[in-house]
């Protein structure tokens, strides 16, 4: 099996994952050093101010796959578009409590959390009103710390908290970065993929220096890899050169099934469990959680 010339919806298993992927997709060192296992609970902000690069798809599917591995996982939807909420089957119109109320009115996060259809996976939903928070927060007291405090109160209940950030570098994203221990950046295997990344890294650094000294850019994930184009390979190679072992060995392929799943309110592992996208995100979850002990009860 190779990752080259794989049509968009090839047979299940034809997924670009090292070491079965061709050498140019593997990390530069032949024997990659496993990243140090990080203590649970882990709070990971999925961020990239570019729109449509796979933040939500990664949050939803990584979350589902971590839950499948036995980790209690919370997806915090910090985007007024509410795509992570609807993508996990939560009807987010007319919610009595949502992330807006948590951020603006200091309603306990616990009050808005809902279970998803995947065992062990929970969602703190968002809807359009959260857009108002970006403006309403500007003069607010302790405006950068709202999410951090809210998550601290529920952290004992979870192994992983994944924060789906909006496509901006505004106060919502700052709240996401300030609440997290780590940042995961999805990078689309497209032209201009690295454009704007410098700005994101500077922002991560700003938050680190001023608000959250232990914040770490821990993980880069190449997504929407198209094996038919040379460009995808070039982007993966360039990203690996820049970020070394922060880049996961798994590369998520471009797959129509991944883009169809949200309209059914399901993550890919229940929508099409044997599809290439499901295989890829399972591998992503294994890489991200490597070394962590599963919760037993």
Ligand X SMILES: Nc1ncnc2c1ncn2[C@@H]1O[C@H](COP(=O)(O)OP(=O)(O)OP(=O)(O)O)[C@@H](O)[C@H]1O
How many residues appear in the chain? 297
Q: Which is nearer to ligand X, 259 or 293 (CB)?
A: 259
We find the least distance from the C-beta atom of residue 168 to ligand X, in angstroms, to be 9
Cβ 226 to ligand X shortest distance, Å: 9
- Whichever of 81 and 250 has its CB closer to Mg ion, that residue is 81
Shortest distance in whole angstroms from residue 30 CB to ligand X: 27
Whether residue 280 contacts residue 253, with contact meaning beta carbons closer than 8 Å, is answered with yes
- Biggest alpha carbon distance in the chain? 56
Q: How far is the CB of 213 from ligand X (least distance, A)?
A: 27
Phi and psi torsions of 266, nearest 5°: -135, 145
Among ligand X, Mg ion, none, what does residue 80 contact (CB within 5–8 Å per kind)?
none
Between 54 and 176, CB nearer to ligand X? 54
Binding partner at 269 among Mg ion, ligand X, none, C-beta below 5 to 8 Å by kind:
none
Q: Which is nearer to Mg ion, 69 or 124 (CB)?
A: 124
* 32 touches, from ligand X, Mg ion, none (C-beta below 5 to 8 Å by class): none
Cβ closer to Mg ion: 120 or 176?
176
Q: Which of 55, 148, 246, 249 binds Mg ion (CB under 5 A)?
A: 55
How far apart are alpha carbons 91 and 198 in whole angstroms?
36
Beta strands at 114-115 and 121-124: parallel, antiparallel or unpaired: antiparallel
How many of the other CB atoms lie within 10 Å of CB of 52?
12
Rounded-to-integer distance, Cα 291 and Cα 82, Å = 32
| Number of C-beta neighbours around residue 183 at 10 A | 27
> Residues interacting with ligand X, by CB under 6 A?
51-57, 79, 81, 83, 167, 223-224, 252, 254-255, 258-259, 262
> Up-side HSE of residue 33: CA atoms within 13 Å toward CB?
5
Q: Kindly state the DSSP code that residue 40 receives in the 8-state scheme.
A: S
d(CA 258, CA 266) in angstroms, rounded, equals 10
Point out which span in 3-11, 62-70, 78-86, 97-105 binds Mg ion (CB under 5 A): 78-86
Binding residue for Mg ion, selected from 56, 85, 173, 219, defined by CB under 5 A = 56
Q: Does residue 50 interact with Mg ion by CB under 5 A?
A: no
Nearest CB to ligand X, comparing residues 53 and 161: 53
CA 57 vs. chain centroid, Å, equals 7
Angstrom distance (rounded) from CA 62 to CA 276: 14
CB of 280 to ligand X, least distance (A): 8
């Amino acid at each position: 099996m190779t990752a080259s010339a794989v049509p968009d919806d090839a047979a299940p298993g034809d997924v670009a994952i090292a070491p079965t992927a061709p050498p140019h997709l593997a990390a530069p060192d032949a024997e990659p050093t496993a990243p140090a296992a990080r203590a649970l609970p882990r709070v990971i902000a999925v961020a990239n101010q570019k729109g449509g690069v796979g933040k939500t798809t990664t949050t939803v599917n990584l979350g589902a796959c971590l839950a499948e591995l036995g980790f209690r996982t919370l997806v915090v939807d910090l985007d007024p578009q509410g795509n992570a909420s609807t993508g996990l089957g939560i009807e987010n119109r007319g919610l009595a409590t949502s992330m807006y109320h948590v951020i603006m009115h200091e309603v306990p996060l616990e009050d808005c959390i809902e279970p998803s259809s995947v065992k062990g996976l929970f969602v703190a939903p968002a809807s359009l009103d959260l857009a108002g928070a970006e403006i309403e927060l500007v003069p607010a007291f302790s405006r950068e710390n709202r999410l951090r405090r809210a998550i601290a109160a529920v952290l004992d209940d979870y192994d992983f908290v994944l924060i789906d950030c909006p496509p901006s570098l505004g106060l919502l994203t700052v709240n996401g970065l300030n609440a997290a221990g780590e940042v995961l950046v999805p990078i689309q295997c497209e032209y201009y993929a690295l454009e704007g990344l410098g700005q994101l890294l500077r922002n991560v650094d700003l938050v680190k220096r001023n608000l959250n000294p232990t914040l770490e850019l821990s993980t880069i994930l190449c997504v929407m890899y198209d094996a038919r184009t040379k460009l995808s390979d070039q982007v993966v190679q360039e990203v690996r050169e820049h970020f070394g072992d922060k880049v996961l060995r798994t590369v998520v392929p471009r797959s129509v099934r991944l883009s169809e799943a949200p309209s059914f309110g399901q993550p890919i592992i229940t929508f099409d469990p044997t599809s290439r996208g499901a295989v890829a995100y399972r591998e992503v979850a294994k890489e991200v959680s490597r070394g962590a002990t599963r919760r037993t009860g």
